[in-house]
Chains A and B, each alone.
Chain A
Amino acid sequence: MTTALIELVVQGGKATIPDVGVFAVAAAIIVAGAIGVVVARNPVHSALMLVMTLFGVAVMFVLQQANFLAAVQVIVYAGAIVVLFLFVIMFLGVDTQEDIAKEPLRGQRALAAALVAIGMTGLLLLGQVSKWTTGQPHVAGSDTGAPNVNLLGKSLYTTYLFPFEATSALLIIAVVGAVVLARRPPATPDMPDMPATPDMPDMPDMPDTSEVAVATPAVPITGAHDAGVDA
């Protein structure tokens, strides 16, 4: 049974049993982490499950000799993106248990599950049935299956040089956009779209107090003026 399964997985008898074992363990970690992201009630737990899935994907990259991408996956995703997620979760204070038992829309989950099942079946069939080679091979250089950071770097700086430069512009725009979005709006008094609801009950009181404050010291003066005018 086990050997038959391994022979089913192995292509051409080249994969060894450690390969299959690593693949199986990493696949289990990936799927368990992904399910954990979806079903966790606490957003912090979701973020930690996401880290688990990302490490599993990095293992898959190593298993396919994409060593540079595995390192970048761990550094950028687990090191930067998930930390950003956790920072925002803590900053907003939404790290509380969430009631996911009740369904806001009737029948939404059943419909979503049906749609995803249909899509998943179609994709699996497509992956098994279709021919993969569609166009001209080796556009950017041959992936020989060996560790190939040199080839990746050469391709990135020759064939894909313009997208690489455009990426830098994208990152600059993202940084500027994040600063603009997360900046606290300037406190101008006549801002029309500010949430004015806390101030609204105070608004009738404000003119009263100011009128009283103005009127009280003004009584003798205005009285004198009034007297003068009357006289």
Chain B
Amino acid sequence: MATEINASGGTPAPPHEVGRSGGDETVTTRVYHRPMASGWWTRRRNYFMYVVREFTSLPLALWLLWFLYQVQQAQHRAVNYHPTTSIAFVVFSAIVLFFALYHSITFLSLAGSILRFRVIDRPVPARLIVLAQFALWAIASAVIAAVLIGFAR
């Protein structure tokens, strides 16, 4: 059951409204949300970097849509297939790569805080888990690059 917090701060909230729906006990609580100023994310560097991390999804999504377009271009062995080689696309990809690396580093670094393993009743150190994630990233990147380059003629 969720803990209640009253908007006035500290004083007990009204009792739970308890009802039954389809044999399942449902509890209704009122949750206080602190109002946030619209520019809160510009006030501290770590707030800004958090928003940038969330934003990384947009350029990555756009690049993957281009990737799908590149797949579609080859449909039925189209004779007018033209791979994208413009400098504008290279610049776009360089910007996307920056966001992609930022996503990878921040996401994989969190693994040490999220994942919990025990080996012979001893917890695996968080640094070792993060190291394993980065090693997996390096190996996967090498394999994918080998396929993308090695199968080219």
State yes or no: do A and B come from one complex. Answer: no
